[in-house]
Amino acid sequence: MANKKLNILQQARLYNIYRETINYVHHLSKKYEDDQLIASTLLSQGLRLYRGILDEKSFNELLDTIIKDAKSIKPIERDEKSIN
């Protein structure tokens, strides 16, 4: 997948989406106390979104990138409020 720079509006939207999502993840974690179920559901829903907007080649490239970058993924901290 091609790297694209985000314009200011896209950066602001990304920040807001991330912040709202992380707040919701914290809410779900407190409510259900099962982070693995929450993570698998979020991953499944995210991949379904990608499947709907990407062609087969781009979707496979995305999966390859996820696998390649897996070691650099940091866990969510309980008090996390921003993009790292």
| Dist. CA 60–CA 38, nearest whole Å | 24
pLDDT in tens, 23-45: 999 999 999 999 999 999 999 99
| Cβ 28 vs Cβ 39: under 8 Å | no
Residues in the chain: 84
Residue 83 has pLDDT above 70, yes or no: no
| Dist. CA 23–CA 17, nearest whole Å | 10
* SS3 category, 37: helix
Residue 1: predicted pLDDT: 47
Per the prediction, the chain carries an average pLDDT of 90
Q: Could you tell me the two tokens for 16?
A: 């807001």
pTM (2 d.p.): 0.76
| Dist. CA 55–CA 61, nearest whole Å | 10
